[in-house]
Structure formats: structure tokens, C-alpha cells
């Protein structure tokens, strides 16, 4: 039984594409077959974050136009078995595809892959409706910032109205030191506001940027890092495992904040 | 030198600098999310408040300065909360007068207990 999951957020720039690429790689590492679908027509980036940009030949538009078969358009990730990408067209805009067409593609992919992860564009217009048309589940990515949380709430409402009821939350770019100093909302704060179950917490980390520079998802990197661990944990939770959430405060801060913590300040 | 000591102290005792933007963000979001979910704009909310107040005012005298009228949400449920402090309950005769103006009510069906004291005195 394959699962079609849309990764969405409402607001742009909160980490949807990074999340999609890392979760795809993490699930493939767990021996699952995964098809990543870039639904951001006109502003595709998933190929870039995966480091597959030079190998894109056909796109979803070519498949829909009948210019190639679906299997021909899929770009295989050579670093890891079972991970493929269906690129979005870059020269067309978001209006060139309709929800029914996206649904057809996703349903066709579901026959051959365990997971179909759809990278949704920002906004709530046609691009969003395309991306969620086939989805049975949704992962909401947000950051602990007012605009991101508000937009996330709006998107959750729209998903519920469309009958996508299995919704989980990923809180991205958490800065534990700022939370401790009451300068940033905590994961608990965001959860209380949004009221959907939590599936992952990813700390703000420079390594994420370095990984995107290289075009290599963090979870495929040589070295263990906290964000890679966080993504890998989300993949395991998707698989139904009970994995405790990471303690982001461990090994954080300078000598002063550690002392402060020690004295309960 | 003095500056360094000051910074050191601030690092150890952060509660001295008053920067609780976290709770500010949370309370602002609570309000705006409730409005977004109910898709009620402030004009609609204002109109609704006036109508509700009109109805309530037929029975009791409301303290308009102290009243609160807000939307809030809990676990994806939005609720309208009205906190209307009552100054005085209207006298029976006044009430009957008000009710006869409104033909929707049948006076025979409404049982009214007249109270001599206002709520403040009752609490004392």
C-alpha cells in the first residue's frame, strides 16, 4: 500500500523543499522506494537540492503532453537505491497544470513506489490545489515565527476542507537558545496554536545550508549531524516507529548559559 | 571594564533585560488565528457585538467599559467569548415593557423573578 504525502506550508522559504529531499533520502535509506514530485511549476528547486539538476531531461509537463512515458521522466538518484525525482517544468507557469492531471501522475506513481512525496509550492492558489489533489496525507512545515504559523494554520484549514485529514506538523529552524531566553516560540507553543500532531522538530543549523550548496541531502552525508538525525527520525515515525523527540538543548550554548541552566536560571 | 562586568551580569541573569517577545508572538497569533478560522472580519464582529448587546441590554444593564468580546480557539475549535459585567438587573416592570415591544416573545411563557438587589450587593 503506497502513501501519497504532500509537503506544504503556505508561506515560502520555511524549508518545504529541504524537508522533501531529506525525507525522501531518509525513507530510501530505510529500504523504501520513494518518488519525489516537484509540484512547483515555474520555480522548481527540488532537483537542485538533490543535486540532480544536470540529469533532468523530461518533466511532468512532457509526461502530460504525451511526449514521453512517466518512467522516462523519472531521474534516478545514483547515490541511493529506490529514490527517484519527477521534475517540474521550469519554462511553464503554475497555471499550465490542472489538479486532475497531477492526480493522474501521482496515482500512476503510486503503483510503483511505496511513498510519493509531493513538494508543494508556496501560496494557496492553483499550484497548491494541484499539489494536494492526490494527497491522502500532509506534512506541514513551519518555523516558530508569526507569519509562518499563521499561514500554516490557514493551510491546515484548507486541507481539512479538502478532506485531507491525516495532517502532521514539522517545526523547522528551532533555535533552542532563543526559546530558552523567551525570544522565540517553543515547539509546544506552536503545537498549542495549530492543534495538529507533531511528527518532527528540526533545529536551525548551518549544515543545512552547506548541504544544499553541495546538492546532497544531509541524511546522505558522511557525518552525523543533529538535523540529519531529526529528518531520519521523521522518516521512522512515518514508518510507524515510536521515536522520542531530540533534546535540542543538549550541547547548546556557551559556558554562561550552561551555568545558568545548572543553577536553574 | 564596567561595561564588561555589566555584560557578564546580563549573561548570567537574563531576566534583567525584558525581552519576552515569545509570549507576545503567541498571544498575537492566538487572536489572529481565531479570526482567520472564523473568517469573521472586524466589522462583522463589531456588528455582531452590537446586536448581542442589544438583546442582553433588554434584561440587564451591562458595563460597556469593562466588557470583553473575543474569539479564541482551542484544539482547532473556535469559540466566541463574551464577558459582560452586569451592573444591574432590570426591574420587572421595565422588562415587561421591553418585552411587549418585541412581539416574538410570548409573555405568558416567561417566568420572571424580581430581585431587589443588584449583583454587587448580592455578592457582599
pLDDT digits (tens, 9 = 90+) for A76-130: 999 999 999 999 998 877 678 999 999 999 999 999 999 999 999 999 999 999 9
Q: Do B26 and A153 touch (CB under 8 A)?
A: no
B63 within a domain of the structure (yes/no) = yes
At residue B48's C-alpha, the angle toward residues B47 and B53, to 5°, is 100
Range of the domain at A178: 3-262
Interatomic CA distance for residues A228 and A70, integer angstroms? 31
Closest CB to B28: pick one of A146, A182, A256: A146
| ipTM computed for the complex | 0.83
Q: How far is B107 from chain A (nearest CA, A)?
A: 44
pLDDT digits (tens, 9 = 90+) for B85-116: 888 777 777 776 666 665 555 555 555 554 44
Using an 8 Å CB-CB cutoff, list residues of chain B that contact chain A.
8, 11-15, 19-23, 25-26, 28-30, 32-33, 36-37, 73-76
- pLDDT of A70 > 90? The answer is yes
- The separation between CA B7 and the C-alpha centre of its own chain, rounded to angstroms, equals 43
Q: What is the mean pLDDT of residues A10-17?
A: 96
Interatomic CA distance for residues B25 and B30, integer angstroms? 9
Asked whether the CA dihedral A261, A264, B1, B3 is positive or negative, the reply is: positive
- pLDDT of A176 > 90? The answer is yes
Query: What residues have CB less than 8 Å from A66, skipping those under 6 apart?
Result: none
The more confident residue out of B103 and A140 is: A140
pLDDT digits (tens, 9 = 90+) for A46-57: 999 999 999 999
Structural domains of chain A, count: 1
Contacts of B14 in chain A (CB under 8 A): 181, 260, 265
Q: Do B32 and A150 touch (CB under 8 A)?
A: yes
Question: Considering only A59-63, B16-20, B26-30, which range has the smallest mean pLDDT?
Answer: B16-20
Place A64 in a pLDDT band, splitting at 50, 70 and 90.
very high
Q: Do A193 and B30 touch (CB under 8 A)?
A: yes
pLDDT at B100: 63
* Of A205, A223, A213, the residue nearest A48 (C-alpha): A213
CATH number at residue A80: 3.40.50.300
pLDDT at A212: 94
Structural domains of chain B, count: 1
Contacts of B20 in chain A (CB under 8 A): 182
Instruction: Give SS3 for B58.
Output: helix
Range of the domain at B92: 41-71+81-123
pLDDT at A1: 79
Place B62 in a pLDDT band, splitting at 50, 70 and 90.
confident
Give whichever of A168-177, B19-28, B35-44, B97-106 has the largest mean pLDDT: A168-177
User: Considering chain B, what percentage of its residues have pLDDT values greater than 70?
Assistant: 64
Strands B77-83 and A166-174: unpaired
Burial of A145 (0-12, 13-18, 19+ CB in 10 A): middle
Establish, for the pair of chains A and B, how many residue pairs have beta carbons separated by less than 8 Å: 61
Q: Do A265 and B13 touch (CB under 8 A)?
A: yes
Interatomic CA distance for residues B49 and B39, integer angstroms? 16
Mean pLDDT of chain B: 73
Interatomic CA distance for residues B58 and B56, integer angstroms? 5
Amino acid at each position: 500500500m503506497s502513501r501519497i504525502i504532500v509537503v506544504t506550508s503556505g508561506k515560502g522559504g520555511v524549508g518545504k523543499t529541504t524537508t522533501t529531499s531529506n525525507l525522501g533520502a531518509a525513507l530510501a535509506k530505510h529500504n523504501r522506494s520513494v518518488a519525489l514530485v516537484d509540484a512547483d511549476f515555474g520555480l522548481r528547486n527540488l532537483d537542485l537540492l538533490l543535486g540532480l539538476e544536470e540529469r533532468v531531461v523530461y518533466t511532468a509537463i512532457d509526461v502530460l503532453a504525451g511526449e514521453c512515458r512517466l518512467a522516462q521522466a523519472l531521474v534516478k538518484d545514483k547515490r541511493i537505491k529506490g529514490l527517484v525525482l519527477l521534475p517540474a517544468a521550469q519554462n511553464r507557469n503554475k497555471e499550465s497544470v490542472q489538479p486532475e492531471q497531477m492526480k493522474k501522475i501521482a496515482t500512476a506513481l503510486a503503483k510503483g513506489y511505496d511513498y510519493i512525496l509531493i513538494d508543494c509550492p508556496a501560496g494557496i492558489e492553483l499550484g497548491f490545489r494541484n499539489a494536494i489533489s492526490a494527497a491522502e496525507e500532509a506534512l506541514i512545515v513551519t518555523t516558530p515565527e508569526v507569519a509562518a504559523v499563521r499561514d500554516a494554520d490557514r493551510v491546515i484549514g484548507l486541507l481539512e476542507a479538502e478532506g485531507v485529514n491525516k495532517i502532521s506538523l514539522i517545526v523547522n529552524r528551532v533555535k533552542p537558545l532563543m526559546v530558552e531566553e523567551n525570544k522565540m516560540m517553543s515547539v509546544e507553543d506552536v503545537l498549542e496554536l495549530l492543534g495538529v500532531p507533531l511528527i518532527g522538530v528540526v533545529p536551525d543549523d548551518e549544515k543545512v545550508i552547506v548541504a544544499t550548496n553541495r546538492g546532497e541531502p544531509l541524511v546522505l552525508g558522511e557525518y552525523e549531524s543533529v538535523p540529519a538525525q531529526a529528518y531520519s527520525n521523521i522518516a521512522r515515525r512515518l514508518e510507524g516507529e515510536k521515536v522520542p523527540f531530540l533534546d535540542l538543548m543538549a550541547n547548546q550554548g556557551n559556558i554562561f548559559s550552561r551555568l545558568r541552566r545548572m543553577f536553574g536560571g | 571594564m564596567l561595561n564588561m562586568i555589566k555584560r557578564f551580569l546580563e549573561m548570567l541573569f537574563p531576566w534583567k533585560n525584558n525581552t519576552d517577545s515569545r509570549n507576545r508572538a503567541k498571544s498575537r497569533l492566538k487572536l489572529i488565528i481565531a479570526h482567520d478560522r472564523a473568517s469573521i472580519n472586524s466589522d462583522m464582529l463589531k456588528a455582531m457585538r452590537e446586536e448581542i448587546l442589544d438583546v442582553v441590554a433588554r434584561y440587564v444593564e451591562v458595563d460597556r467599559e469593562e466588557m470583553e468580546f473575543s474569539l479564541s480557539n482551542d484544539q482547532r475549535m473556535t469559540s466566541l467569548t463574551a464577558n459582560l459585567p452586569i451592573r444591574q438587573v432590570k426591574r420587572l416592570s421595565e422588562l415587561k415593557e421591553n418585552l411587549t415591544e418585541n412581539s416574538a416573545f410570548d409573555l405568558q411563557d416567561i417566568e420572571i423573578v424580581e430581585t431587589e438587589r443588584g449583583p454587587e450587593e448580592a455578592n457582599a
